[in-house]
Structure 1
């Protein structure tokens, strides 16, 4: 049994900028790109067992730092003049201990070196994106294999019930 606590801190806007599909979505609908990243990270958390914390630079929320929990993922919007990098480095100092291994997902090379120098592990955004794609493929195969070919049952449910079930599945 692994007694090590694994934490993944994600530089939210950096990962969105490195992920082509999310980057394109961000151009049309900023909030949807953020929500999709949060949903993908919730799936990542469910599969890996990591505690996932996503940091976004303050956006539309002037003033103090805000923390929310969407799905099972912790989401932090920094204070008005605080950059995500500063918040990430502060979190590493706060959370780092002998029973915790911290990974930081970002493509920012300066930030990668800063977190590495504090004892955290670097995870380039591209590497995280590839891991998420692999998880998506595994989930797709699993759900396809759960249904015998040609014997799919379809249960008719109304939209309100479907929405409630989806919320339950996502953990919020």
Structure 2
């Protein structure tokens, strides 16, 4: 994939919240907003790391509100569906656009859901499919990879100025420092 056509990831947000245990617990104890915020934060980092253009899709099916898109970062946006529209419907529409795109051979679209009918539909449109559980495992693996890269390196004390100057110079510097105090 070229950077001109980064992979697109469409995530059925409530499906993921319902299947990731820690998000289920947040949803049940603190509400959907907290679980949604946590998923959003997780996907900001994951999407940036992998260079995905991710859309977290949330049903607004029972709410009488118009569809709303909210850009979080250059790699992540939230999409709240229109009244009487499901996340599945929105994702299917995006997959249909992908299938009709004359440049689709240059592009990659990944649908994240554990809904079996949605999996079959996405694959039928030529998209890749990833279960909510597989995404969770990829997120955890990415986090471990990032953490292992960020482990503090043991300081090389040979490069410290105090270890490279002779004892006479060290004594002279100490005298000057004591006079300043």
Consecutive aligned runs of 4 or more in structure 1 exceeding 4 Å deviation: none
Residues 93-112 of structure 1 correspond to what in structure 2 (within 5 A)? 93-96=96-99, 97-112=104-119
Aligned 8 A contact 2:47 2:54 in 1? yes
**From 94, 108, 114, the counterpart of 2:121:** 114
Aligned 8 A contact 1:116 1:122 in 2? yes
Structure 2: runs of 5+ lacking an equivalent: 156-181
Structure 1: runs of 5+ lacking an equivalent: 150-172
Instruction: Describe the superposition over 1:52-84 as per-residue Cα deviations: whole angstroms up to 9, x where unpaired.
Output: 111000178532100001234111000110010
Aligned 8 A contact 1:39 1:71 in 2? no
Q: Which has the larger radius of gyration?
A: 2
Residues 123-138 of structure 1 correspond to what in structure 2 (within 5 A)? 123-138=130-145
Aligned to 2:18: 17
| SS of equivalent to 2:84 | coil
Distance 1:34 1:147 in 2: 35
Distance 2:22 2:71 in 1: 24
Select the structure with the greater relative contact order (CA < 8 A; seq sep ≥ 6): 1
Instruction: Give the TM-score taking structure 1 as reference length.
Output: 0.79
Aligned to 1:5: 6
Distance 1:28 1:107 in 2: 23
Aligned length: 148
Distance 2:134 2:23 in 1: 15
Distance 2:61 2:82 in 1: 9
Aligned 8 A contact 2:11 2:111 in 1? yes
Aligned to 2:66: 64
- Aligned-residue Cα RMSD (Å) equals 2.0
Aligned 8 A contact 2:56 2:78 in 1? yes
Aligned 8 A contact 2:109 2:128 in 1? yes
Aligned to 1:76: 79
Shift of 1:148: 3.8
Instruction: Give the TM-score taking structure 2 as reference length.
Output: 0.75
